[in-house]
Amino acid sequence: MSMIYSRIVGTGSYLPEKALTNDDLSRMVETSDEWIQSRTGIRKRYIAAADQNTSDLALIAAQRALESAQLQVDTIDLIVLATTTPEMIFPSTATIVQEKLGMTNGAAAFDVQAVCSGFLYALATADSMIRNGMAKRALVIGAELMSRILNWEDRKTCVLFGDGAGALILEASETPGILSSHLHADGRYRDILQANGRIQNGTIHGTPYIEMEGSQVFRFAVRVLAEAVQEALDNNGLKVSDIDWLVPHQANLRIMDATARKLQMPSQKMINMVGDQANTSAASIPLAIDAGARNHSFKANQLLALAAVGGGFTWGATLLRW
């Protein structure tokens, strides 16, 4: 009996129209283009319009992924959507996207929350469900409206994040595709990056805004990103030199560069979108994959290493053949 794998057959992404530059930010908080660029590599970020919601960003990314795969929506039997900024308390943003796509075939749909690692958690979930026969074709989305949970008076956090969405179509296949995923979490570190607000009988307790211990997050991220990629390589009997493209979560350029250095990978092999998009949390990896696909960086059978880290703390890596 032949093994079933999943492989990517379509990609799409969406960024809101409005770009907010570092100079724009320097008129809102005490900061400068020089400070932000030298610490993070970020030049600008996109901010959604007031009437755009998480599902609106996700919808356009999903439609573009379906178009690139030349598939009709009713051939999808699973939607997994990763987000830190769901549209509402419930139902899931995945079901809102399902309705907006006009899907009526009863496909399973749910959200995954693992903050900036969310897309890798969603991808691993969809891949597992395809490999064990529960689904044949999955729409995997990462969509974020980080601008809605930023304190625009806190220069330590508001300069780092942006809005956006990315989507992939995964399909059952006899050839890989995804080789393996390695997911981790350690809740002891949950308070170094959090938005701990809780809704209780109509009132928010705690804060609905992101709070972060920047230097602790930095150290944690660099350590676990490189470890996770190495774990994925070891699991598949592969070496760092076998990787054609490193697609890290686009948190900030210093974290990404430090990870590539730790792995002894040349920076030309790393997809870098953070300068123009900032940190879009669970959307950053599918946005980066869509960019690599559309500018033809990725060639058939090349090895991609995806790596992410985020609040929780959560982290992980996925290896796949393009």
Question: Annotated catalytic, 252?
Answer: no
To 10 degrees, what angle do helices 284-294 and 54-69 make? Answer: 30
Q: Phi/psi class of residue 35: alpha, beta or left (left: φ > 0; alpha: ψ in -120 to 50)?
A: alpha
Q: Which of 155, 184, 190, 223 binds ligand ACO (CB under 6 A)?
A: 155
Catalytic residue from among 22, 53, 272, 279:
279
- Of residues 236 through 265, those in contact with ligand ACO by CB under 6 A are 249, 251-252, 254-255
* CA 321 to mean position of chain CA atoms: 19
Report the distance separating Cα 155 and Cα 36, nearest Å: 10
Active site residue 296: no
| Residue 250 CA neighbour count, 13 Å, CB half | 29
The answer to whether 215 contacts ligand ACO (rule: CB under 6 A) is yes
Q: Please tell me the distance from the alpha carbon of residue 192 to that of residue 311, in angstroms, as a whole number.
A: 8
Task: Provide the minimum distance between the beta carbon of 30 and ligand ACO in the complex, in angstroms, as a whole number.
Answer: 6
Please say which residue, 60 or 251, places its beta carbon nearer to ligand ACO.
251
Q: Which residue has the tokens 């439609």?
A: 63
Shortest gap between Cβ of 87 and ligand ACO (angstroms)?
A: 21
Which secondary-structure segment (H or E) carries 294? helix 284-294
Binding mask 173-202 vs ligand ACO (x if CB under 6 A, - otherwise)?
Answer: --------------------x---------
Find the binding residues for ligand ACO in span 295-314 (CB under 6 A): 309-310
The residue whose Cβ lies closest to ligand ACO is 214
Q: Using CB atoms within 10 A of its CB, is residue 51 exposed (0-12), middle (13-18) or buried (19+)? A: exposed
Binding region for ligand ACO (CB under 6 A) out of 9-17, 73-81, 100-108, 153-161: 153-161
Specify the stretch interacting with ligand ACO by CB under 6 A; choose among 47-55, 77-85, 155-163, 229-237: 155-163
Three-state SS sequence of 22-75: HHHHHCCCCCCHHHHHHHHCCCEEEECCCCCCHHHHHHHHHHHHHHHHCCCHHH
Stretch that binds ligand ACO, among 48-56, 72-80, 209-217, 263-271 (CB under 6 A): 209-217
Nearest Cα to 284, choosing from 266, 300, 307, 304? 307
Choose which of 15, 116, 303, 306 interacts with ligand ACO (CB under 6 A): 116
Of 276, 299, 272, 300, the residue nearest 288 (C-alpha):
272
How far is 312 from 190, CA to CA, in rounded Å? 4
Question: By CB under 6 A, is residue 275 in contact with ligand ACO?
Answer: no
DSSP letter at 141 equals E
Q: Based on CB atoms, which residue is closest to ligand ACO, 200 or 215? A: 215
Is 182 a known active-site residue?
Answer: no
- Closest distance between ligand ACO and the C-beta of residue 214, in Å? 3
Piece in contact with ligand ACO (CB under 6 A), picked from 99-107, 125-133, 152-160, 167-175: 152-160
| Site for ligand ACO contains 159 (CB under 6 A) | yes
116, 158, 182, 272: the active-site residue: 116
Separation of first and last alpha carbons in the chain: 24
Interface with ligand ACO: number of residues (CB under 6 A): 25
Q: Which residues bind ligand ACO (CB under 6 A)?
A: 31, 35-36, 39-40, 116, 155-156, 159-160, 193, 212, 214-215, 217-218, 221, 249, 251-252, 254-255, 279, 309-310
Which amino acids are annotated catalytic? 116, 249, 279
